[in-house]
Each structure stands twice: as C-alpha cells, then as structure tokens.
Amino acid sequence: MSDREVVVLSVGGVRFVTWASTLQQFPESRLARMLSDDDWEFKLVNGEFFVDRDGTLFSYIMEFLRTLQVSLPTDFSDYQRLQREAEFYGLYPLADLLSQEHLLKPRLEILEVRFSLQEMQAFFRIFGSCSTTVETLAEQITVFTGQQSGQSWNSPFPSLVPLPLERPSHHDMVFQCGTDYSAGDQLVARYVSIKPDNRKLINGTNVLGLLLDTLLKDGFRLISTRTVSSEDKVECYSFERMKRAAGLTVTVSQTLGSSRVAQAKRSQAQKGK
C-alpha cells in the first residue's frame, strides 16, 4: 500500500479516515502491520478495516500519530485505559509517555492581585505560581507616562512614553497608575493599557476592573477577595485555574539497523514550571 493511499478504519463503530503513511509512523506497530499482514483482530469489510476497540480513545491515538505529541484535555482521566489501548496497537512510545501520568495531568495555577489606592494613585502587584503565565500577562500590560506643568494639568498630555514594568522576580510584577506631583511642580500621570483592549486608563478602579475581566476571560476563576491591610487600603484578589500540561513529544529518527526509533522527550513548553 502506498504512503498516500487513503485508509478507512471503523474502531468500535467510530469511523476514521487517514493516510497510510500516518498509520506507518511506527512500522513495528499493529496499525502499520495491519496494512500488509493478516491480523485476526482487524477485519477488512467493504474496504474498511474494522476493529472492536474503544473508538473515543482511538481519537487520541490518531492525534498522536498525526502530531507525534501527547496533549490531553484538562478533564481527561482515562490514562490507564488509553495506555492499554496504545499497548494493544503496539504503540509502545505512546504507552511509555502515558505511564508518566504525573507529567500529563493538568496543573492548578494560583494568581494573586494586590490593589492599593493612595490619594490620586493606584498600586498593583501581581503574583503567579506559573512564571510563564506571569510573563505572558506582563507582555499584555503597558504603562505610559507623561509630564506637564501644574498650571495646565487639565489639558491633555502632549506625549506619553511607555515604561517598563517592575519585575521583582519571574513570578510577579509591579506597576501603578494615576497622577502625582514631582519636583518642580510637574504633574506626572501614568496610564495603563491591557491588550487586547486598546484604551489607556488612568483611574485605578477602572484598571482593576479591566485586569480582573482579562483574567476571567483567560480561564481564571476568582476564589476569594480579602483586605490585607485596612490601614493601607490593600485589597487582595485570588484566582485559580486548571492549566493543561505541556505536551510531550516523540521524535522519530532514521537509524542503521532499524527503520525508525522513537524516543520520548519533554516539550520546551514545560518552561516556567
């Protein structure tokens, strides 16, 4: 059978259509041998290969053959059943990855927003358990600043300059907005913009509302609000979300004495864990 020939499989009544080359990713597997061997588990009926196995789980196996990556939904729980299916089809590199269940399970992320109002300024500090998430959020937030004489503070600022966010560590960031007087009676204003919203906001309450809305849209869930310091008017908003584990990838390389050898490796997406 040529690599570009279309193959139709019926797995437990669920129909799959793919290229022969996809099923031949691992020549030692039963799916690859099915195309040329007489395997009693696979019946050729009206041009379709039929096998009495779990069709729902086979969709993950097909995704693995197409991408050489294991990336499961956050609500997935049938790791052992999927591992048995992988062993049945002779896909031992996949079975080996599934045996590392702790690497594939979703992780609970915690993120905390601290907010303080002091006169005409608002101060923000964001801490997250996942540095990658904090890094991504830092790329969405921009602080712009401008100055002008105190006598003309009601007029628009002629120009605004972006400021870098303070990053005390990989897991947190600090920024502020509002107005303040600097030396020489110069009024300093700081505006905050949070992508994909293109507005520049100076009011701390408005910035807080947009920030919380952004986190909720990104899959976080607000789990608690509390006052950290009533004297300093510091409020704390705690969020959590289940984040899908980074995919594990199998590389397939050509070697002497063997048509293909599969070797599992961690995806670079594990950065920041």
| pLDDT at residue 265, as a whole number | 38
Gap between the Cα atoms of 49 and 8, Å rounded: 6
Which residues, in sequence order, are bridge partners of residue 263?
Answer: 251
Q: What is the pLDDT of residue 259?
A: 33
- Please give the backbone phi and psi of residue 153, each rounded to the nearest 5 degrees, phi first: -70, -20
> For residue 184, what pLDDT band results from cuts at 50, 70 and 90?
low
- Quick check: 266 pLDDT over 70? no
Cβ contacts of residue 103 below 8 Å, gap of 6+? 97, 245, 248, 266
Q: CA torsion 221→226→227→228, rounded to 10°?
A: -80
Q: How confident is the model at residue 267 (pLDDT cuts 50, 70, 90)?
A: very low
Two structure tokens written together for 237? 């908003």
| Overall pTM > 0.75 | no
What is the mean pLDDT of the segment spanning 248-273?
43
How far is Cα 13 from Cα 255, in angstroms, rounded to an integer?
Answer: 37
Helix (H) or strand (E) holding 93: helix 92-99
Q: What is the DSSP string of 190-218?
A: EEEEETT----B--HHHHHHHHHHHHHHT
**How confident is the model over 66-97, as pLDDT tens digits?**
999 888 888 888 999 999 999 999 999 999 98
What pLDDT is recorded for position 262?
38
Catalogue all structural domains in the chain, each as residue range(s) with its CATH number.
Answer: 6-105 (3.30.710.10), 109-241 (no CATH)
